[in-house]
Amino acid sequence: MNDKLLAKAVQDYINANLNTDINQIALAKSPFEGITPAELATQIGAKKKSEKKLPTWFRTKNIYYPPVLSIEQTSSEVTARYKSKLAKGNTLIDITGGFGIDTYYFAQKVKKVIHCEINPELSAIAKNNAQVLGAKNIEFKVGDGIAYIQNNSSLFDTIYVDPARRAEKGKVFMLRDCTPDVVTNLEALLKKSSRVIIKTAPLLDISAGLAELNQVSEIQIISVKNECKELLWIIDKGFDKDTKITAVTLNNEVEKDFSFYRSEANGTIQFAESLHVGGYLYEPDAALLKSGAFNLIGLTYELIKLHTQTQLFTADFIKTDFPGRIFKIEAILSTGELKKEQNLRGNVIVRNYPAKPEDLVKKYKIKADQEQFLIFTRIASGENVILKASIIQYY
């Protein structure tokens, strides 16, 4: 960590060049002694990347940034603030501390937090930033988090871990494929804590994760603006009951959730044989879809499902507590009727329909429109339909 980067003149230069091409910065001569062009480019690129994801860090003076990859891999402020509520007790250790976003928000809820990071440079950066942000209840340790817990006599109320997938692994992965290996070390972790929280990418299959882990009391699926961001596996020592699944949507300061127990996931639902103009179409948020409780979603909100393989629902009423988009159906068209339409406009959505959005846009010469939607889908009778619809609720 190069402390010269925190000098006022250097910070002013970084802020003045946030919109400058960092490749140009990296290739130019550094205007500061003891600071390389590459270091300046890294600070500028990483700070710019933080503007929307980490607004508190972006707005705060004298924040030191790691390489852009660390910013891409870290939790957003939105998700870190939410997950801090899941901490149990007064002490927490983050054994994969990284840039320290999760650690910082846990420290807002817990009396004492330990940030453990194997990379000395990243540990020093996180420590500097915590001091700048006024977080005084975080202790920083350099080293392997698993080894620290095993070699330390201290007990913790909560252990938090964000395992990294090993680079050589493909798109489909198991928890055993990650570092640290929480599956092999879970028993050791539970000897030192009554609660372990594991963060994984949403790409991890829920059933596969449950096959590897035990004592999972709850799985939380977190999405932001209809994009699934992470899975949180809450493991409570001695838990042997039905696992709870909670889909959480975080959008513009509005939080909605949909919870059920795994044994409740399946249910019998009514299917729509037809649709009508003036009705409403419901599209579940990405977190709800990840939960796999497709029929239960409709039953909970008293909706009718369009088709077994179409995760869309309909009703004659609006329920604003529904986590997802709601559309008002303005017209129902066949493909023949669509061909006759002139000056077609709309945001194309395809759900269980035998064509790709880009092909439909080209075929029917559809112009983009953010408020009007053309939804290509299938209903229970097997009929393909095109719905002209306006958006009522985004999230």
| Per-residue three-class SS string for the chain | CCHHHHCHHHHHHHHHCCCCCHHHHHHCCCCCCCCCHHHHHHHHHHHHHHHHHCHHHHHCCCCCCCCHHHHHHCCCHHHHHHHHHHCCCCEEEECCCCCCHHHHHHCCCCCEEEEEECCHHHHHHHHHHHHHCCCCCEEEEECCHHHHHHCCCCCEEEEEECCEECCCCCCCCCHHHEECCHHHHHHHHHHHEEEEEEEECCCCCHHHHHHHCCCEEEEEEEEECCEEEEEEEEEECCCCCCCEEEEEEEECCEEEEEEEEHHHCCCCCCECCCCCCCCEEEEECHHHHHHCCHHHHHHHCCCEEEECCEEEEEECCCCCCCCEEEEEEEEEECHHHHHHCCCCECEEEECCCCCCHHHHHHHHCCECCCCEEEEEEECCCCCEEEEEEEEEECC
Per residue in 47-56, pLDDT (tens digit) is 999 999 999 9
Residue 170 has pLDDT above 60, yes or no: no
Give the pLDDT band of residue 239 (cuts 50, 70, 90).
Answer: very high
pLDDT tops 60 at residue 129: yes
Residue 174 has a pLDDT of 86
The per-residue pLDDT for 167 is 59
- CATH fold, domain 3-69, is Arc Repressor Mutant, subunit A (1.10.10)
CATH class assigned to 74-241: alpha beta
Q: What is the pTM of this model?
A: 0.92
Q: Kindly report the average pLDDT of the chain as a whole number.
A: 94
pLDDT of residue 177: 86
> Does the pLDDT of residue 304 top 80, yes or no?
yes
Q: Report residue 172's pLDDT band, with 50, 70 and 90 as the boundaries.
A: low
The stretch 328-345 carries a mean pLDDT of 90
69-99 pLDDT, tens per residue? 999 999 999 999 999 999 999 999 999 999 9
Instruction: Give me the residue spans of the domains in the chain.
Output: 3-69, 74-241, 279-393
